[in-house]
Amino acid sequence: MTEENIRQTLSEIEDELSSGVPAPDLLNDAGVGYYLLGEMEQALDYLQQAVQKDTSPGILFNLANTYSGLHRPDEAIDTFLRVLEIDPGHIGALNNLADEYEYRGDTDKAHELFHYLTHLQPDNALSHFNLGNFFLRQNQHIEAAKCYERALESDKSFVDAYHNIAWILFKSKAYDDSIKYIDKGLAVKSDNSDLLSLKQKVRQAQEDTAG
């Protein structure tokens, strides 16, 4: 949906809101629209109004994401926890709560949640990839690579997992192995710019080492 489409839809929603008692679903839709436009303060205003009328998980989740977009982690965490009180298996809330804990510096809580998600969804490649990214951000490259390998067991077309393993191998100066993973990723998506860029760096490093 283009910005013009979103603004047109918002205009229609706001006309409807002004014509009667504001319904929570319309307030939520308005909040989501402004969120998509990156106008977070407007999004927050509408979503806070929506939550006063309806504390369903979907509306609370949108409010929590808006707090996150405004870099207000404490309020985001509190609101994601409210979602999980109602729906303990809400995958989006669990993932985003882990992100917020990490952003706030609570790495133990973040790790616990990312790890929990891999048990909740053992065959979901993205859960293992997200845990791998957490380890990568903590400079735990071996643990990260194991998670990316687990992601590839579930989804052999997961190009970003090939890239991240190749990057780790590149940083470890295991250039030949890095190229193998790059080529596996390129076999899935031959025009992936991240893989092509990394391959160029690895080839250059190989030449520099040889020279």
pLDDT given at position 21: 77
Measure the CA–CA gap between 92 and 97, rounded to whole angstroms: 8
Q: Does residue 93 lie in a domain region?
A: yes
pLDDT given at position 1: 78
90-95 contact pairs (CB < 8 A, 24+)? 90/57, 90/61, 91/117, 91/120, 91/121, 92/61, 93/57, 93/61, 93/64, 94/120, 95/130
User: Do residues 50 and 70 make contact, with C-beta atoms less than 8 angstroms apart?
Assistant: no
Q: Does residue 17 lie in a domain region?
A: yes
pLDDT given at position 211: 66
Domains: count for the chain = 1
Q: Does residue 164 lie in a domain region?
A: no
Q: Does residue 21 lie in a domain region?
A: yes
pTM for this structure?
0.88
Q: Does residue 25 lie in a domain region?
A: yes
| CATH number of the domain residue 57 falls in | 1.25.40.10
pLDDT given at position 20: 81
Q: Does residue 186 lie in a domain region?
A: no
Q: Does residue 174 lie in a domain region?
A: no
Contacts of residue 15, defined as CB under 8 A and 6 or more positions apart, other chains included, come to none
Q: Does residue 151 lie in a domain region?
A: yes
pLDDT given at position 56: 96
Block means of pLDDT (10 residues each) for the chain, 211 residues, are 92 90 92 96 97 97 98 97 96 97 96 96 97 97 98 98 98 97 98 98 93 66
Amino acid symbol at 116: Y
Give me the domain span that covers residue 116: 3-155
